[in-house]
Amino acid sequence: MRILVVEDEVDLARTLHTGLTAEGYSVDLAHDGRQGLWMARTGAYAAVVLDLMLPGLNGYKVCAQLRRESNATPILVPTAKNGEWDQTEALDTGADDYLAKPFSYLVLVARLRALVRRAAAVAPPVLAVGDLSLDVAARVCRRAGARVDLTPREFAVLELLARRAGQAVSKADLLYHAWPDDALDPNLVEARVSVLRKKVDAPFHRQSLQTVRGIGYRLVDDRERG
């Protein structure tokens, strides 16, 4: 399970990375708001630990932008700002929970577990874009009722496109989502999309996997064209 920590205090970020890794999480770090927003947009995380006082783009704006983009990843806000108005603003911009610094590490981990549990309970079991469906839990893809066999990488690419259906998704985002430990070569994405088109589009006479020139790809419901 992957967690994103967006924290500009380097020592605290490293401590959280070490502790959460020991708890069994895969942890990525960002040290400013813009990088954190870019990384959170991939939809690859079970939760985000988001500080409010960040350089580049503050945590309030990061949180609000993610919610405007319908990104429902749970967000836990640990911050030195502990007034009632700060807590209220953080929650009103879309944060799911708030923890004032200095905080108990045990409480942080417990609250993260609770957020992840709640998100799993309300998450749709199936992502659907037209007659293309992805059962995320079972890792099963179907089109027009017919099962389509996908490799784990292919499923990961299609899952992110389905989660952001109708939106242009960059090659960098797809690369980071499907190859989080080896996100270097955009040709990996192009090759997987080419194979996906042969599996989920061509046999059904569809063109739902669209190229967005200069950016990446988009998944749409194209049934009216069929």
Q: In this predicted structure, what is the pLDDT of residue 176?
A: 75
Q: In this predicted structure, what is the pLDDT of residue 181?
A: 58
Q: Across residues 108-125, what is the average pLDDT?
A: 81
* The model scores a pTM over 0.85: no
Q: Across residues 178-185, what is the average pLDDT?
A: 67
Q: How confident is the model at residue 160 (pLDDT cuts 50, 70, 90)?
A: confident
Residue 169: partners with Cβ closer than 8 Å, 6 or more residues away: 160, 161, 215, 216, 217, 218
Backbone angles phi, psi at 107, to 5 degrees: -65, -40
For the stretch 67-88, pLDDT in tens is: 887 788 899 998 766 567 777 8
- With a cut of 90, say whether residue 116 has pLDDT above it: no
Across 6-15, 62-71, 112-121, the highest mean pLDDT is recorded for 6-15
Question: CA-to-CA distance for 185 and 80, rounded, in angstroms?
Answer: 39
On average, the pLDDT of the chain sits at 87
Q: In this predicted structure, what is the pLDDT of residue 174?
A: 86
